[in-house]
Structure 1
């Protein structure tokens, strides 16, 4: 075995490019033991492979370079065991969060596939719904800071001059049985079960209030909830042209 390795040989042994090793040298994390003062060519002593192997090990565990540096300067069996326990706990928590996000994405995908498989009728129909669950978000000013906005179908609530939002998490069009609720990290609220007037709106969200007013005007003989619930089916996440947005409008019919 060679006593010294070039940068290229060291990189090939560990699957690292030369630029990475140069960077490690620059920040003082992993430096060659020999450097030609005239050419600047670097050479590593062979037993430096153990230090680089440790660096690669910690990087594969997900540690940032600064934490790798601290570890290299304070290695001991006790410290290493504690480090691994902490990292294992962090990875498990990260895995659980990723699985929760994956479940949310699959439910949103199922919602979109099921809704797009429908024939979006013109006019208004009467439809019976079970109770459905959503995560309350609030006003549009805070909407875009909420993770639930990105992972679940968006609900917008219109009530007189108010408009606020929620994230749809459970219902028959989300592949959930009545009463079934996925594990979510935020508290949920219910959309009441019952009969609803349902219409599909095509186009910009700005035109939705006038569409709601039209629905209410055409069914003034019914006792209607003051709240209108709307579900984004085709929205800005999947369609570039606002004229192609499709939103489902629902107004609950109350007992007189």
Structure 2
């Protein structure tokens, strides 16, 4: 600080921008931004040097700003408060901010559930007994789907884009939840070279109200294997043989979901796909 500035600030009892910033443990750029917004303008600006100075009279205003910012109140609302400084205005700001906080809490809870679901799914896939048929009792699963005949020769990514566009879906909800189906009729004929639909399994946390249908709650013969859709054929035959050998009646289309693929890893040895076929078991049959 030059001697001239020291004399000027001492005489007026003013603080430079740097001194004000140090006193309130903040960045000089933040003070300049507050000045631009009009929520904390300097007490005095030297007309010759354009240096800005603050006074102790502004400390209360600064404390209010820091308090509201600690509550994550937007700067626009802080500016609005100073334009109409009143207890009711402050109460309104608090009420609005509480709603914002509660909404963030709801969003964070949903994110935590989605993370937990995905982690459990991936961990189960990494430790699965590959190539071994397992019977699972699965709950009803809501879907959005695109009913269309296609084969592996078609570009699945383009079909996924069609599904996304038709339903105005958020791309962030796709990872690990896109599946394809082979119709029950084709499975019964042992025809496993074409698909009848592509779908997205919806979770409650996706906040998507309009589903196209649902996979029913049922018993499913399932198998997980290391590979993607291209490697599915022998595992379909494994499931069909399993059902036939036990006299189990197929009750719907297959479910084929790649749990781990290029979206998660560059190591193709860690790719995991699961096949599921719903069935009805004789009442006395035990697993």
TM bracket, shorter-chain basis = 0.7 to 0.9
Question: Secondary structure at 2:257's aligned position in 1?
Answer: strand
Alignment counterpart, residue 200 of structure 1, candidates 220, 225, 231: 225
Question: Secondary structure at 1:219's aligned position in 2?
Answer: helix
How many angstroms apart in 2 are the aligned matches of 1:91 and 1:249? Answer: 42
Offset of 1:71 from its aligned partner?
1.6
User: Given the superposition, is the C-alpha separation of residues 219 and 63 from structure 1 closer, same or farther in structure 2, using an over 3 Å criterion?
Assistant: same
Residue in structure 2 matched with residue 134 of structure 1 by the alignment = 141
CA contact (8 A) 1:201 1:249 kept: no
How many angstroms apart in 1 are the aligned matches of 2:74 and 2:199? Answer: 40
Residue in structure 1 matched with residue 46 of structure 2 by the alignment = 36
Q: How does 1:209-220 map to 2 (within 5 A)?
A: 211-212=232-233, 215-216=236-237, 219=240
How many angstroms apart in 2 are the aligned matches of 1:138 and 1:11? Answer: 57
Residue in structure 1 matched with residue 57 of structure 2 by the alignment = 47
Q: How does 1:106-145 map to 2 (within 5 A)?
A: 106-121=116-131, 125-139=132-146, 140=160, 141-142=163-164, 145=170
How many angstroms apart in 2 are the aligned matches of 1:65 and 1:194? Answer: 55
Show structure 2 runs of 5+ residues with no match.
1-9, 147-159, 183-194, 283-287
How many angstroms apart in 1 are the aligned matches of 2:237 and 2:38? Answer: 71
Question: Secondary structure at 2:258's aligned position in 1?
Answer: strand
Confirm whether residue 9 of structure 1 aligns to residue 35 of structure 2: no
Question: Secondary structure at 2:29's aligned position in 1?
Answer: helix
CA contact (8 A) 1:234 1:247 kept: yes
Alignment counterpart, residue 271 of structure 2, candidates 236, 245, 249: 245
Residue in structure 1 matched with residue 261 of structure 2 by the alignment = 235
Question: Secondary structure at 1:230's aligned position in 2?
Answer: strand
Structure 1 length as normaliser, TM-score? Answer: 0.74
| 1:156-181: CA deviation from partner (whole Å, max 9, x where unpaired) | 131443211114x5xxxxxxxxxxxx
How many angstroms apart in 2 are the aligned matches of 1:107 and 1:57? Answer: 38
Offset of 1:244 from its aligned partner?
4.3
- Alignment RMSD (CA, Å): 3.3
Alignment counterpart, residue 35 of structure 2, candidates 12, 25, 41: 25
How many angstroms apart in 1 are the aligned matches of 2:22 and 2:130? Answer: 58
Offset of 1:194 from its aligned partner?
1.5
| 1:127-155: CA deviation from partner (whole Å, max 9, x where unpaired) | 211122434243433285165435xx414
Offset of 1:190 from its aligned partner?
4.7
Residue in structure 2 matched with residue 172 of structure 1 by the alignment = none
Alignment counterpart, residue 96 of structure 1, candidates 103, 106, 113: 106
Structure 2 length as normaliser, TM-score? Answer: 0.67
Kindly name which structure, 1 or 2, has the bigger radius of gyration based on alpha carbons: 2
CA contact (8 A) 1:228 1:249 kept: yes
